[in-house]
Chains A and B, each alone.
Chain A
Amino acid sequence: MEPAAIPYLPRGVRLHRDRVREAWVLLAPERAIMLDEIGHAVLTEIDGARSFSEITAALAAKYDAPQDEIAGDCAGLLGALRARRFLEVRE
């Protein structure tokens, strides 16, 4: 994902707290994706206003980790969501 790209969740894709499984899930058309702690942390940063690099910088500060490491981790998850059209980007 380009550093300047602004990711957002399109209509019909939303975070949901699953009180039965005690976990966060991403609900999307015909899919429910169970999120681990990292996945949840990344998705809660996506607000449709900040760019990918701003998001990874915020996460790097929060978790005290190198930004390119975080960017690498995020790109995998966000790329997979994008391929299913569960995530869109504004360039």
Chain B
Amino acid sequence: MNAETPIVRPPIAMLAELTHRCPLSCPYCSNPVELARVDSELSTETWKDVFRQAADLGVLQLHLSGGEPASRRDLEDLVCAARDAGLYTNLITSGIGLSEKRLRALDEAGLDHVQLSLQGTTPEMADEIGGYNGGFKRKMQVAEWIGAIGFPLTLNAVLHRRNLHQLPRALEMAVEMGARRIEVATVQFHGWALKNRGALMPTMEQAREADRIVTEARARLKGTLVIDYVPADYHSDYPKRCMGGWGSTGLNVAPDGKVLPCHAAESIPHLSFDNVADRPLADIWYRGAAFNAYRGTDWMQEPCRSCARKTVDFGGCRCQAMAVVGDPDATDPVCVKSPHHGALQAQAAAHSVSDAPLVHRAVPARRQTEPTG
């Protein structure tokens, strides 16, 4: 360790990917292309222990995610254990798999907040994107139950070339549902979305129009609806700060117990990941090789190394540098200072007029497939 090694503070948030199973098959799913097998999922007791370890480590916010977390029959039990451990519990769901009865049980268990995803504002759009017939109708029913029980609600609208024109309606729906907050998230190209750049890349005009709509709506809906906005990545001049800085505020636990600095980190081949089954969570956070790989600014190359913004965006997304440039240590190619920025913009322009079909995500395998040959 050298003098520039950053002081590592406790994490604030943990994303628990309880399962990669999901009734939907969104083409931009952030789950890895190599989905965790169903029989590798952590047991109820192990998850409970991980939640207690997380709270002891300093985690305050627990995001229960997937896949679809409602695909776990023990979700209610897990929420209860997380609350007992002292964590704020947020359920990130498509709504599919939740009944009124289950929602009431989740209320009873102490669930703090629900984040409901929106694939589109019409049944045609939503069901095509989600790859699940009747999904939209069901989701609207679930939204009603959520409102009746009184859970604080965030609507999470994922937008791309095919549905960006529905943004104004998505904002209206959030208000109608009584959501306090909406996340307007333009697709980020990781996981399955990388396979769908041609099908989903917004045009530059769409990206600018979305900026305009969000600015106008923020002023108009002040005090009614909080709008958090993730703009189109490839159409920006500077990259996004990754997870608030690699290994600085949050961690992810995959369905099989692997602990990741971010949901896409497995796309970086040289990293190796610890598992909660082998090592205490605190030890993984403070001393795990994957977490220390990109902490702080020491690992940086030029132009990041001598850039004034290096502690603002930490050089952007490592997984994006890997995916686009083939080097996880490189400057995020979204950045205007990256030598690959021009090529990325040209690619984005080409993708935005492509007629590539949607590739829906796959279904996790039930059990280990027998080796062939």
CB within 8 Å of B: which residues of A?
10-14, 16, 18, 20-21, 25, 27, 29-32, 82-85
Contacts and interface: CB of A to CB of B under 8 A. Distances in A.
Q: Most chain-B Cβ atoms within 10 A of its Cβ — which of A12, A14, A18? A: A12
Contacts of B10: 20-21
Given A27-B61, A32-B60, 19 more contacts: A10-B180, A11-B150, A11-B151, A11-B152, A12-B151, A14-B88, A16-B60, A16-B86, A20-B56, A21-B58, A27-B60, A27-B88, A27-B112, A29-B180, A32-B12, A32-B13, A32-B61, A83-B226, A85-B180
A85 B113 contact: no
Contacts of A18: 58, 60
Contacts of A82: 223
Interface string B61-90: 100000000000000000000000010101
Contacts, number: 57
A27 B55 CA distance: 14
A9 B13 CA distance: 22
Contacts of A12: 112-113, 151-152
B88 A32 contact: yes
Contact of B181 (A20, A27, A32, A85): A85
A68 to B, nearest CB: 25
B154 interface: yes
A13 B226 CA distance: 15
B57 A30 contact: no
Contacts of B115: 29-30
B222 interface: yes
B180 A20 contact: no
A21 to B, nearest CB: 6
Contacts of B112: 12, 14, 27, 29
Given A84-B226, A85-B180, A29 B60 contact: no
24 contacts: A10-B180, A11-B150, A11-B152, A12-B113, A13-B152, A14-B88, A16-B88, A18-B58, A20-B56, A20-B57, A21-B10, A27-B60, A27-B61, A27-B88, A27-B112, A29-B90, A29-B112, A29-B181, A30-B61, A30-B90, A32-B12, A32-B61, A83-B223, A85-B180
A36 B243 CA distance: 25
A71 B115 CA distance: 35
Contacts of A31: 61
Given A16-B88, A18-B58, A83-B222, A29 B150 contact: no
Interface in B1-40: 10, 12-13
Q: Most chain-B Cβ atoms within 10 A of its Cβ — which of A30, A82, A84? A: A30
B223 A30 contact: no
Contacts of B57: 20
Contacts of A83: 222-223, 226
B112 to A, nearest CB: 5
Interface in B104-130: 112-113, 115
B151 to A, nearest CB: 7
A30 B60 contact: no
Interface string B143-169: 000000011101000000000000000
B258 to A, nearest CB: 24
A20 B282 CA distance: 12
Given A16-B86, A84-B226, A85-B181, A29 B152 contact: yes
Nearest to B113: A29
Nearest to B12: A32
A25 B10 CA distance: 14
Contacts of B181: 29-30, 85
Contacts of A14: 88, 112
Given A18-B58, A83-B223, A30 B154 contact: yes
